[in-house]
Amino acid sequence: MKFLQFRDRMQGHADRVMEQPALFLTSVSGDEMWETYLDSFPPGTNEIHKERRSHDCSCCKSFVRAFGNVVAIMDNDLVSFWDLGDAGDIYQPVVDAMSALVKSRPIVDAFVTKESGFGTDQNKAQLEDGSVITWHHFRADLPARLVTRSSKSEASLRGEIRTSHDVFSRSLNELSPDAVEIVLDLIAENTLYRGEEWRGVLGEFASLQDEYHALPDDQKDNYCWSKSVEVGGAITRIRNHSIGVLLQDIAGGMDVLDAVKRYESIVAPHNYKRPKAIFTKKMVEDAQRAIEELGLLDSLGRRHARLSDVTVNNVLFADRDARPHMDGAGSIFEVLKSEVAVKPGQFKNVQGVGVEQFLADVLPTATRLEVLFENRHQPNLVSLIAPTVADSPTLFKWDNSFSWAYNGNIADSAMKQRIKAAGGDVGGVLRFSLQWNEGFDNRNDFDAHCIEPGGTHIFWPNAGRRWPSTGVLDVDIIHPRPDQVAVENITWSHLDRMPRGMYKLFVHNYQHRGGRSGFSAEIEYGGEIREYEYAKELAHNENVLVAEVRLKEDGAIEFIKSLPSTTSTKEVWGLNTNQWQRASLLAFSPNHWNGRGVGHRHYLFLLVGCMNDERPNGFFNEYLQEEFMEQKRVFAALGNKMRVGQADEQLSGLGFSSTRHNSLVVRVDGQVTKLVF
């Protein structure tokens, strides 16, 4: 076999190796590879020619030193560029020796380069007689996906991957599967503060850990290297996150309760009181004895409140259809009229009014009250909770047995979960997220872009850089795996540092790889998520505008133009968002009934047809009388266990705290008013 034929066969094999998602470097040195290459030729096939051996070529030497120790990982085994099955009598001993050398050493780094290729295909030389001869050499042209576009240095990028590998390897070995299972159980029981944020990440880590421990020892490090570039930083560096502290403590033998307490001291606000506690069988038995001694067994049962539970003294407004079902119906307007002077006319052209002024001046003469249930109000969904036994003693700091429970289980969108798993921030004041390859049929290289007021362009060359506006592209996927839904994410963390003006948010197809589908996108601001679908194929280098939004001086976002949103309306708790909903009752929270106030006031707009499809806690520790705090762990356990069952009759709707800024558009007898809390 001639060298040119051998070289071409090597290049064909290299092309197949480079089809893998990532390449790596073993620890063999360039000099050692070159010496092994020259010394492995059979006798008589690499003799001295003039001053050097026949195969001692400076071009090939440069290639072997720079590229000879590059390997791929296939089925957790190393595959080198020297693994030719048939290289001929002259070259087979060479490639066998090179393969054995390269694969005898461990991987030390990921292969990261900004070069499009290595080696020299050919050059020409003039002989003494004037004739010209062509010399052929090793050459490898890299596919575009293996050439990094990052503004970071190659060494910096290799260091990041190396750190991910090292932390991931420690996590797989040091975080015991039992500890992972315990934390997943805590999350499933909703007993871990902000644990739901880690459900997807920890579940995937558990699956990877099972795969890892099933491998023979000689394949485990290769597995860690391959996964360190395939899965997101939230998984590979899970040991370094807050949830990793909890996992380490449990794996190290710390009592679960103490471990959770330490975890919550890291992630929870100072005034956080756990609504649900970790409990054992013995704790439940102790709770039963304590409750019996306190005479509170009849007070534990909780259910959704009904209209018949509520008296006219407990509400500020009752719809005409609700009145016949209430205790004391018929007297409510007389009560209200005797207390408040009516001046409805002054609100005819008012754009916004404080809620207390609305209660005093508008509500008393209202016969029909409607609210505009916007998407951003989903966290405000609330249910009024009553005791199962009507005359049972109160557990609470106020003098009645009613309580309320806000919606705490609105799940993040699937896109937000994937952004989190990839290490992105979904808690900023403005978020622009991109998602594609949902059917595993589109491995194009889509990029999220934003051009800020003033011209700052946030996109892939500055990935990871936080601009003065606090904007950052923190997730940038270039090579979607065949089984991976790809995401990118741009987020801003501080509203006061964002320049006022126009933000242009768009998607660019950097490289078309045969994908025929489009993409999904989300824009989140002020608690509202707008979702977009672009189903058409993007041509190579095509831009698609998702939205142009203007950040106004008052901090509000105005959508100037955008793709059609797919979230203009959605059904939540039996109601359609962004539509008018009729209120059956308007009331203060029970801690402010009967003219007495304990703690912060909430305004409860209880809506017709609103049906809580979850099972809220029967009560929370922060509601309980202080004397019960000695048994707070018991009551927390019971609050978790005594969940409110489903009910066809229930008083649910929207709630607003007097301590948090918010707004609600209402329509009173056809007159539209904006309430400000």
Say how far apart CA 61 and CA 376 lie, in whole Å.
63
Q: How crowded is residue 656: how many other Cβ atoms within 10 Å of its Cβ?
A: 23
State which of 520, 547, 567 marks the end of a domain.
567
pLDDT of 392: 83
What lies within 8 Å, CB to CB, of 6 at 6+ separation is 87, 88, 90, 91
Is 279 domain-assigned? no
Averaged pLDDT for residues 80-102: 90
Is 357 domain-assigned? yes
Is 231 domain-assigned? yes
Q: Are residues 61 and 197 in the same domain?
A: no
H/E segment holding residue 289: helix 281-294
Q: Are residues 504 and 563 in the same domain?
A: yes
Q: Are residues 163 and 142 in the same domain?
A: no
Predicted confidence (pLDDT) at residue 305 exceeds the cutoff of 90: no
Averaged pLDDT for residues 54-59: 74
Q: Are residues 227 and 140 in the same domain?
A: no
Say how far apart CA 554 and CA 239 lie, in whole Å.
41
Q: Are residues 52 and 180 in the same domain?
A: no
Predicted confidence (pLDDT) at residue 447 exceeds the cutoff of 90: yes
CATH of the domain at 485: 2.60.60.30
Q: How crowded is residue 160: how many other Cβ atoms within 10 Å of its Cβ?
A: 17
For residue 412, CA distances in Å to 379, 418, 527, 528, 561 come to 11, 10, 11, 12, 25
Say how far apart CA 314 and CA 322 lie, in whole Å.
14
- Average pLDDT of the chain is 83
Averaged pLDDT for residues 183-212: 87
pLDDT of 413: 63
Confidence of residue 255 (pLDDT cuts 50, 70, 90): confident
Is 336 domain-assigned? yes
Three state DSSP letters for 540-554: CCCEEEEEEEEECCC
* Overall size of the chain counted in residues: 677
Residue that wins the pLDDT comparison between 317 and 567: 317
Say how far apart CA 674 and CA 661 lie, in whole Å.
13
Query: Phi, psi at residue 171, to the nearest 5°?
Result: -60, -45
Residue that wins the pLDDT comparison between 192 and 237: 237
Q: Are residues 489 and 430 in the same domain?
A: yes
State which of 548, 567, 586 marks the end of a domain.
567
Burial profile 541-559: b = 16 or more Cβ within 10 angstroms, e = fewer: eeebebbbbebeeeeebee
CA angle 452, 539, 537 (to 5 degrees): 100
Is 274 domain-assigned? no
State which of 111, 127, 146 marks the end of a domain.
146
Residue that wins the pLDDT comparison between 542 and 641: 542
Is 217 domain-assigned? yes
Q: Are residues 442 and 580 in the same domain?
A: no
Residue showing tokens 């003006």? 501
Averaged pLDDT for residues 553-574: 83
pLDDT of 345: 32
Predicted confidence (pLDDT) at residue 636 exceeds the cutoff of 70: no
Q: Are residues 424 and 549 in the same domain?
A: yes
**What is the number of structural domains in the chain?**
4
Residue 158, domain extent: 154-267
H/E segment holding residue 504: strand 501-511
Averaged pLDDT for residues 114-143: 83
DSSP lists the bridge partners of residue 586 as 317, 605
Predicted confidence (pLDDT) at residue 313 exceeds the cutoff of 80: no
**pLDDT, tens only, 405-422:** 887 534 456 788 789 888
Q: And the tokens for 476? A: 């940038």
Q: Are residues 445 and 470 in the same domain?
A: yes
Predicted confidence (pLDDT) at residue 4 exceeds the cutoff of 80: yes
Q: Are residues 182 and 248 in the same domain?
A: yes
Predicted confidence (pLDDT) at residue 437 exceeds the cutoff of 80: yes
Q: Are residues 403 and 418 in the same domain?
A: no
Confidence of residue 616 (pLDDT cuts 50, 70, 90): confident
Between 257-261, 399-403, 544-548, 617-621, the lowest mean confidence (pLDDT) is in 617-621
Q: Are residues 488 and 598 in the same domain?
A: no
Is 317 domain-assigned? yes
Averaged pLDDT for residues 161-169: 94
**pLDDT, tens only, 20-47:** 889 999 999 999 999 999 888 888 776 5
Is 273 domain-assigned? no
